[in-house]
Amino acid sequence: MKKLFITLIFLLSANYFFAQGGMWLPNTIKGSIEKDMQRLGMKLTADDIYNTEKSSIKDAIVQFGGGCTGEVISPKGLLLTNHHCGYGAIQRLSTMENNLLKNGFWAQSFEEELPAKGLTVTFIDRIEDVTGKILGNINNDLPLNERQSLIDKNIDSLSKTTQIEDYQTVEIKPFYYGNKYYLFVKNIFKDIRLVGVAPESIGKFGADTDNWMWPRHNADFSIFRIYADKNNLPAEYSEENVPYTPKHFLPISVKEINEDDFTLVFGFPGRTQEYLPAIAVDQIANKLDPVRISIREAALNVMGKYMRNDEATRLKYASKFAGIANYWKKWIGESQGINSVHAVEKKKEFEKEFLHRLDKNPEAKAKYGHLLADFDSLYAAFEPYNIAQNAIYESFFRSIDFMRVMSYLNRLKNYYINNGAAGYDGFKARLLPYLKGMYKGMDISIDKDVFAALVKKYALESKPEFVPGSIKALKTDREFKEFANKIYNSKFTDYDSLVSIIDTTDIDWAISVFEQEPGFEFAKEINEISDTKVSPNYNELSAKINDLQKEYMKALMEMFPEKSFFPDANSTLRITYGQVKGYHPRDAVYYEPVSHIEGVIEKYKPGDYEFDLPQKFLDIYKSKDFGNYTDKTGSVPACFIATNHTTGGNSGSPALDAEGNLIGLNFDRVWEGTMSDLYYDPSICRNIMVDVRYILFLIDKYGNAKRLIDEMEIKK
């Protein structure tokens, strides 16, 4: 009976598994994917989405900074992205007297738009399948490293010989674990200016408490503008630059959105691992995630204690805390989600079916029969190194600023050893501004307490061979505190003193000062353990696993010819599509797909750091001055959810309707579906978007920036 039940679940989910979810390269959707999109209601064709002969929707999509997405929403290069994506740039433009994050900012003219130095946005000019050129001369019988170096050589020479304009760059990336290669020609714009943003109490409303959760009520958006030179080409910042005229911009629809409506999300998803064997998913969700979660929790506990006791500390640590908390919470959701949908069991059932198909095909079995058993033994060998590699990073570097400083000093020293004074000075010039910001955001006594807590945890919970000698004998809180005191008794606990040592022409002297630092020694000790006992094994086994995964991917595609396989996300341009849909997170509970401004007011908590609101917002709400940004309920829709398969990097991605109009701005996923990076389950995986009407409402009524709305093409 039980077996029958599991098989039934498997059959149902297997169908689902491949019928929904997925993130596709836009140049590969013509045909079956296009048809499936049209079946769900899309009125566009593949050519409307991606075309290199004429303008298409892809010409409105950019990679924003390193890790987010943005989209052009006016003929004058107006750019929309998330609040949390613009955050760093806005923070850098803020001062104590003029805190743009806190107060919001609305440029009332082009002249008032603020250059965000260092920020870039990247358009994809074209995508080419170059698999033949990269793999054509590769003999699969060669050893792994020889094969890889030949591939690298091919990539290098093709990158250099590809015809591009002088403002363009080329990137070639592996897909399907190296079974395919695609080339991307990119246009990178470098003069990006801040145009508008609501106060963070509105943009980040709900902060960490609401993060990764539905229902949601934050207006996670910020507005920038792309500037170009007088030929409309990318250029460094200059007063002479003018607003960029895009090849395409997204019209905006304020029409009704209904459950089951088609949606399309276009952006740059960072990383997924949808084709791992069951044993790998089990290792991540049940071994690795718990370790990473508990280390971050220990760091958050210390920081949280200080933040609760002191308002200035809370402000100073808010962003650091949020950064650590984001994936802490994600991993909890992921680990729970994998177990609650029985993803490991379902993957095992799927693997049984794979073996069953091999049994019927002796030739395939000879090729692929070894795969799953090899995975088992490789992952078993990999586990301790996988955990140690992550634990070292999380325990010593991720959350401890002072240790990061120490490892930067080590890199500085290496630059000197390898490239002489020029190497040292070059790295120093990049390092100092970065460290200046870092020290500004650090409280050395909190940092020391986090250090003591994490070092203790690491020393007591790790395999003895991975524990540095200097902390092996320590046991009690007091001993770890004393150790921390020793490390933090340092010349590098404040920025000015650091500069007085680093910023010198007597580099040998500076390095001798580094070397007298107990923290520098400790970082070296950790790196030595990592370099001798962890990384070599980790790297070797990862390479073998990857190679096996490449073969497995190929095998899956051969053995399941009836399925379409999308390539895992790798920070390249993708589309994902689905429908507006609520979901049942658990028995007797149903979540509706749309939230409203009433919910913002319901959650409002005066004085609370996550749920407070500006008086102006409350006043507008009271006056019910909603303009025509309402839906059929008469209220302003805030956020909505749909079945689009998204991941980190999709933040800021546009959600489009069946005709290609902007209806929402992607920014997150729901709690029960955070495991979608490993296993997408269409019954509970949902992406979360801000409704574009909430964005327009805030621009117009809160920001009084009607001039921006006048630039846009609004479809009523």
Structure tokens at 94: 């803020």
Least distance to ligand ASP from the beta carbon of 328, Å? 14
- Cβ(652)–Cβ(645) below 8 Å: no
Number of CB atoms found within 10 A of residue 126's CB: 15
Which CB sits closer to ligand ARG, 174 or 206?
206
3-state secondary structure 555-622: HHHHHCCCCCCCCCCCCCCEEEEEEECCEEEECCEEECCEEEHHHHHHHCCCCCCCCCCCHHHHHHHH
Please compute, for residue 562, the number of CA atoms within 13 A of its CA located in the half-sphere on the CB side: 5
Other C-beta atoms lying within 10 Å of the C-beta of residue 231: 9
Spatial distance between the Cα atoms of 24 and 577, rounded to a whole number of angstroms: 9
Q: Which residue is nearest to ligand ARG (CB)?
A: 322
Which of ligand ASP, ligand ARG, none sits in contact with 212, Cβ below 5 to 8 A by type? ligand ARG
Q: How many Å apart are CA 45 and CA 578, to the nearest integer?
A: 16
Q: Which does 649 bind (CB under 5 to 8 A by kind): ligand ASP, ligand ARG, none?
A: ligand ASP
Q: Is 668 in the site for ligand ASP (CB under 6 A)?
A: yes
Residue 531 CA to residue 547 CA, distance in Å, equals 23
Candidates 168-176, 207-215, 448-456, 597-605; binding stretch for ligand ARG (CB under 6 A): 207-215
208 contact, one of ligand ARG, ligand ASP, none, CB 5-8 Å limit per kind: ligand ARG
Q: According to the binding rule CB under 6 A, does residue 322 interact with ligand ARG? A: yes
Measured from the CB atom, is 428 or 645 closer to ligand ASP?
645
Cα–Cα distance between 629 and 691 in angstroms, integer?
Answer: 10
Total binding residues for ligand ASP by CB under 6 A? 9
Maximum Cα–Cα distance across the chain: 78
520 binds, among ligand ARG, ligand ASP, none (CB under 5 to 8 A by kind): none
Nearer to ligand ARG, 207 or 684 (CB): 207
325 is in the binding site of which of ligand ASP, ligand ARG, none (Cβ under 5 to 8 A by kind)? ligand ARG
Among 669, 686, 693, 701, binds ligand ASP (CB under 6 A): 669
State which of residues 51, 81, 263, 650 lies at the interface with ligand ASP (CB under 6 A).
Answer: 650
Region near ligand ARG per CB under 6 A, out of 21-29, 37-45, 259-267, 319-327: 319-327
Q: Which is nearer to ligand ASP, 252 or 665 (CB)?
A: 665
First CA to last CA distance, the chain: 55
Task: Choose, by CB under 6 A, the member of 70, 648, 682, 703 that binds ligand ASP.
Answer: 648
DSSP output for 45-110? -HHHHS-SSS--GGGGEEEETTTEEEEE-STT-EEEE-HHHHHHHHHHH--SSS-HHHH-EE-SSG
| Residues 77 and 225 sit within 8 Å (Cβ to Cβ) | yes
Q: How far apart are CA 237 and CA 10, in angstroms?
A: 55
Q: Is 603 in the site for ligand ARG (CB under 6 A)?
A: no
Q: Does 326 bind ligand ARG (CB under 6 A)?
A: yes
The residue assigned the tokens 């460094």 is: 236
* Minimum separation from the CB atom of position 656 to ligand ASP (A): 17
| Min CB(265)–ligand ASP separation in Å | 10
Q: Is 649 in the site for ligand ASP (CB under 6 A)?
A: yes
Write the DSSP symbol of residue 37: H
The reply to whether 668 sits near ligand ARG by the rule CB under 6 A is yes
User: Residue 28 binds which one of ligand ARG, ligand ASP, none, with CB within 5 to 8 A depending on kind?
Assistant: none
Interacting residues of 313 by C-beta distance below 8 A, sequence separation 6+: 306, 307, 443, 446
CB of 326 to ligand ARG, least distance (A): 4
Residue 124's SS3 state is strand
Residue number with CB closer to ligand ASP (87 or 375): 87
User: Does residue number 325 form part of the binding site for ligand ARG (CB under 6 A)?
Assistant: yes
Residue 222 engages ligand ASP in binding (rule: CB under 6 A): no
- In this chain, which stretch among 100-108, 427-435, 471-479, 646-654 interacts with ligand ASP, using CB under 6 A? 646-654
If binding is defined by CB under 6 A, does position 651 make contact with ligand ASP? yes
Tell me: does residue 216 bind ligand ASP (CB under 6 A): no
- Judged by beta carbon distances under 5 to 8 A according to partner kind, the member of ligand ARG, ligand ASP, none in contact with residue 650 is ligand ASP
Q: Is 218 near ligand ARG (CB under 6 A)?
A: no
Break the chain down into helix, strand, coil percent, rounded to 5.
55, 15, 30
The least distance separating ligand ASP from the CB of residue 139, rounded to whole angstroms, comes to 39
Distance, in Å, from the CA atom of 222 to the CA atom of 219, rounded to the nearest integer, reads 9
Question: Active-site residues: which are they?
Answer: 84, 220, 651
Q: How far are the Cα atoms of 47, 138, 260, 371, 547 from residue 145, in angstroms, in the given order?
A: 40, 12, 49, 20, 11
Q: Does 211 bind ligand ARG (CB under 6 A)?
A: yes
Which of 389, 493, 647, 661 is the binder for ligand ASP (CB under 6 A)?
647
| Contact positions with ligand ARG (CB under 6 A) in 633-652 | 648, 651
Cβ-contact 188, 235 below 8 angstroms: no
Does 289 sit near ligand ARG (CB under 6 A)? Answer: no
Identified binder of ligand ASP from the candidate list 24, 451, 566, 667, rule CB under 6 A? 667
- Paired tokens of 118: 């260092």
CA distances, 366 to each of 359, 360, 384, 600, 697 (Å): 10, 11, 31, 60, 62
Min separation Cβ 121 and ligand ASP, Å: 15
Stretch that binds ligand ARG, among 247-255, 318-326, 439-447, 492-500 (CB under 6 A): 318-326
User: Does 189 interact with ligand ASP (rule: CB under 6 A)?
Assistant: no
Q: Does 69 bind ligand ARG (CB under 6 A)?
A: no
Q: What are 353's two structure tokens? A: 């079916």
Residues lying near ligand ASP in the complex (CB under 6 A):
646-651, 667-669
Residues lying near ligand ARG in the complex (CB under 6 A):
84, 207-208, 211-212, 322, 325-326, 648, 651, 667-668
